[in-house]
């Protein structure tokens, strides 16, 4: 008797489970929007006609990324359910909110066909005809204008492939510009460049297209071609729209044609399309301020940034520049001009977040372009440009290596940022030990050399038995709390069982310094060095003591050869380089002392590092000025910060 094969059961579920919806609602209520979106995404894909899911996705999109993203979600719902009155009403609401009136009118007609009603829509014939008029006096069709509106909605929302589909074949200048823009943001840079050039060739006043063509030529590494297009960009008459003016200034500022950018900005200050409101007007003022700042016209730049912020208080890039200008009380040579959205294909920016390794390998931006956006970008854009160049440098790209080296000589960021670039190149073998590089130290450009020693921060294994190690740590705790007698008692207990232990002896020397018993401290350190000649920190501390006493030749003999070590612990590194810097300063040779300070500044990562560096800096300055340190205080403060985990700084 044969068995019958059971038929697979078909799901009768028409939507998500109520528990799934409640979970999403809880996430939304607690503002965990990214998690809510992650849960919504597969459910919307599974149940595209479920209105509750779609409405939640639209709300989450708006709260996470703004109305443009919500409008895109509304479009996808309306596309999935063309006969849903709720879906069409939601799309209508967002089309109207985003200013796409012809699209809103088209959707309103669909709503009426489905039995609904929208106040004031469909638009009266005369109003609709006015919307279809073109600047040259001709008229387009409602279908063409609705497709333009929809393409723009999709472009603003980040669905570039769909935007391309809707904009192709729309014979309107703004539509052709937006199509080229969508091609660029989808990663089709070559096609985008060709489209922008055709748009400009067909209409010589299309500065929007010309400005973008300048940027994309540089993006591909064609600096000569980009500069060639700057000539007609500079020679253009007053732009006819604010979008043209912004693109003109964008291209000129990217290529650092600052005088031309300033003149172009001054020509449009009285344009009739400027009304002193909105993001675009604020951005134009920001561009003008950036050109002025680069030219050293601080008195012009400051009020322009202030005016931009009055129009658009959320223009964070202008606020950051103004804050830096007011803090430094001088011209800002490298103001932040652009953000990521204005500088890289948005599809690439998204890929960098989701699949960084793949995106870094595939991004087509030339090193020339990355250099330009580093000079002109905000903090996030500069970090991203640096990340891309580091990836390329590691793959053997010599131009990327050269570009990164150049960043060290620019007055961008703080010295630690510039040292971090050089340290990366050194660690990757892309910067030779002792190779001279130009470095901006915060006040002047000078030549420095990176030391080749590899610095480690891993804790070192103790050679004391556990009970004695615990006592050592307790003694350090007492020392740091100022309980000198308790610390000393524990140190003597350890020495009874581990005579002449180098760390314990060094810590006892530090205690003697705190007590003002410098001769005893010196004697202890001399014993440690005699018994443990390779114990670097004791040699450095003894040398420091000798430097304070003016015995420079003896100090120099103690330090000889120590810098040749290939690997060094962070505390040893600070001890050695700090002592070398003090020695040269005491000899009156600050030129020889400075490279050691540079190398220390280049490895600052923690507050503890910064504290040590500042202490060393102060000590070096005192020696350079012919004075001596307060040795007792110096050793005491260093000890409180660095006696950790059984290590000694003496």
Per-residue pLDDT tens over the stretch 135-180: 767 789 999 999 999 999 999 998 999 999 999 999 899 999 999 9
Of 87-96, 133-142, 208-217, 478-487, the range with the lowest mean pLDDT is 133-142
- Give the position of tokens 């670039």: 421
In a shared domain, residues 332 and 351: no
In a shared domain, residues 212 and 272: yes
Residue that finishes a domain, picked among 430, 448, 466: 448
In a shared domain, residues 163 and 230: no
In a shared domain, residues 28 and 163: yes
Query: What's the pLDDT score for residue 434?
Result: 75
Q: What percent of the chain stands above pLDDT 70?
A: 93
* Residue 470 maps to a domain: no
Is the Cβ–Cβ distance between 15 and 53 less than 8 Å? Answer: yes
Residue that finishes a domain, picked among 145, 171, 197: 171
Is the Cβ–Cβ distance between 562 and 576 less than 8 Å? Answer: yes
In a shared domain, residues 328 and 378: no
Is the Cβ–Cβ distance between 635 and 650 less than 8 Å? Answer: yes
In a shared domain, residues 310 and 375: no
In a shared domain, residues 224 and 280: yes
In a shared domain, residues 142 and 237: no
* Residue 480 maps to a domain: no
In a shared domain, residues 199 and 160: no
In a shared domain, residues 350 and 325: no
Mean of pLDDT over the chain: 87
* Residue 6 maps to a domain: no
* Residue 463 DSSP SS3: coil
The more confident residue out of 450 and 18 is 18
Kindly state the average pLDDT of the residues 487-516.
Answer: 90
Is the Cβ–Cβ distance between 393 and 428 less than 8 Å? Answer: yes
4 secondary structure, DSSP code: P
Band of residue 642 on the pLDDT scale cut at 50, 70, 90:
very low
Band of residue 626 on the pLDDT scale cut at 50, 70, 90:
low
Query: What's the pLDDT score for residue 436?
Result: 87
* Residue 8 maps to a domain: no
* Residue 456 maps to a domain: no
Report pLDDT digits (tens) over 411-455.
898 887 888 898 889 888 898 877 888 888 777 888 877 776 778
In a shared domain, residues 159 and 226: no
Residue that finishes a domain, picked among 310, 340, 370: 340
CATH of the domain at 291: 1.25.40.10
Work out how many domains the chain is built from and give that number: 4
- Give the position of tokens 């000025």: 625
| Cα–Cα distance, 16 to 38 (Å, whole number) | 15
Tokens of 104: 């809103």
Residue 331 has pLDDT above 80, yes or no: no
| Cα–Cα distance, 574 to 38 (Å, whole number) | 47
- Provide the whole-model pTM: 0.74
Query: What's the pLDDT score for residue 136?
Result: 66
Is the Cβ–Cβ distance between 161 and 142 less than 8 Å? Answer: no
Query: What's the pLDDT score for residue 548?
Result: 87
Which residue segment(s) compose the domain that 393 sits in?
A: 342-448
Residue 253 has pLDDT above 80, yes or no: yes
* Residue 315 maps to a domain: yes
* Closest of 54, 175, 50, 37 to residue 103, by C-alpha: 175
Report pLDDT digits (tens) over 73-103.
999 999 999 999 999 999 999 999 999 999 9
Helix, strand, coil % in the chain, rounded to nearest 5: 65, 5, 30
Residue 186 has pLDDT above 70, yes or no: yes
* Residue 69 maps to a domain: yes
* Residue 461 maps to a domain: no
In a shared domain, residues 567 and 603: yes
CB atoms within 10 A of CB 486: 15
Query: What's the pLDDT score for residue 13?
Result: 53
| Cα–Cα distance, 110 to 85 (Å, whole number) | 9
Q: Outline where 47-122 has alpha helix (H).
A: 51-65, 67-80, 85-97, 101-113
């Amino acid at each position: 008797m044969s068995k019958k094969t059971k038929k697979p059961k078909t799901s009768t579920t028409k939507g998500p489970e109520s528990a799934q919806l409640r979970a999403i609602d809880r996430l939304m209520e607690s503002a965990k929007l990214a998690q809510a979106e992650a849960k919504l995404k597969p459910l919307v894909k599974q149940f595209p006609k479920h209105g509750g899911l779609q409405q939640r996705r639209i709300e989450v999109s708006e709260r996470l990324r703004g109305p443009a993203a919500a409008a895109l979600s509304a479009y996808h719902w309306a596309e999935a359910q063309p006969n849903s009155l709720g879906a069409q009403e939601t799309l209508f609401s967002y089309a109207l909110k985003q200013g796409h009136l012809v699209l809103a009118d088209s959707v309103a007609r669909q709503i009426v066909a489905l039995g609904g009603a929208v106040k004031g829509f469909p638009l009266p014939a005369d109003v609709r005809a006015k919307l279809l008029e073109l600047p040259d006096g001709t008229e387009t069709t409602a279908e063409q204008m609705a497709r333009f509106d929809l393409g723009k909605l999709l472009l603003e929302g980040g669905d570039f492939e769909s935007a391309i589909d809707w904009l192709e074949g729309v014979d309107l200048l703004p539509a052709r510009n937006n199509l080229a823009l969508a091609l660029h943001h989808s990663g089709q840079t070559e096609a985008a460049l060709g489209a922008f050039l055709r748009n400009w060739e067909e209409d010589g006043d299309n500065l929007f297209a010309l400005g973008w063509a300048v940027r994309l030529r540089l993006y591909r590494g064609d600096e000569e071609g980009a500069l060639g297009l700057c000539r007609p960009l500079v020679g253009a008459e007053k732009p006819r729209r604010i979008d043209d003016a912004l693109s003109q200034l964008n291209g000129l500022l990217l290529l650092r044609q600052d005088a031309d950018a300033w003149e172009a900005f001054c020509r449009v200050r009285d344009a009739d399309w400027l009304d002193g409101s909105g993001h675009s007007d604020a951005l134009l003022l920001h561009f003008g301020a950036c050109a002025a700042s680069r030219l050293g016209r601080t008195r012009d730049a400051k009020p322009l940034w202030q005016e931009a912020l009055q129009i658009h208080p959320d223009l964070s890039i202008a606020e950051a520049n103004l804050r830096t200008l007011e803090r430094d009380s001088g011209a800002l040579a490298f103001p932040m001009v652009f953000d990521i959205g204005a500088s890289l294909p948005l599809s690439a920016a998204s890929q960098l977040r989701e699949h960084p390794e793949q995106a870094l390998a595939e991004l087509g931006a030339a090193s020339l372009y990355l250099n330009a956006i580093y000079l002109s970008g905000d903090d996030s854009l500069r970090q991203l440009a640096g990340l891309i160049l580091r990836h390329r440098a590691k793959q053997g790209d010599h131009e990327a290596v050269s570009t990164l080296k150049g960043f060290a000589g620019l007055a961008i960021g703080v010295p630690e940022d510039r040292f971090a670039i050089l340290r990366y190149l050194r660690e990757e073998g892309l910067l030779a030990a002792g190779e001279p590089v130009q470095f901006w130290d915060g006040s002047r450009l000078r030549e420095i050399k990176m030391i080749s020693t590899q610095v480690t921060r891993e804790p070192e294994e103790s050679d004391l038995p556990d009970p004695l190690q615990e006592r050592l740590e307790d003694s350090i705790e007492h020392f740091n709390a100022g309980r000198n007698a308790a610390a000393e008692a524990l140190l003597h207990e350890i020495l009874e069982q581990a005579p002449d232990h180098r760390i314990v002896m060094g810590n006892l020397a530090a205690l003697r310094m705190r007590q003002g018993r410098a001769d005893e401290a010196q004697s202890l350190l001399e014993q440690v060095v005699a018994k443990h000649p390779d114990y670097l920190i004791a040699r450095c501390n003894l040398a420091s003591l000798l430097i304070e006493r003016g015995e420079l030749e003896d100090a120099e003999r103690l330090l000889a050869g120590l810098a040749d070590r290939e690997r060094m612990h962070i505390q040893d590194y600070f001890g050695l380089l700090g002592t070398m810097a003090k020695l040269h300063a005491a000899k009156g040779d600050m030129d020889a002392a400075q490279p050691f300070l540079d190398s220390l500044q280049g490895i600052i990562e923690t507050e503890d590092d910064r504290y040590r560096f500042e202490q060393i800096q102060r000590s070096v300055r005192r020696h350079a000025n012919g004075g001596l340190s307060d040795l007792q205080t110096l050793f005491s403060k260093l000890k409180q910060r660095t006696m950790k985990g059984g290590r000694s700084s003496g």
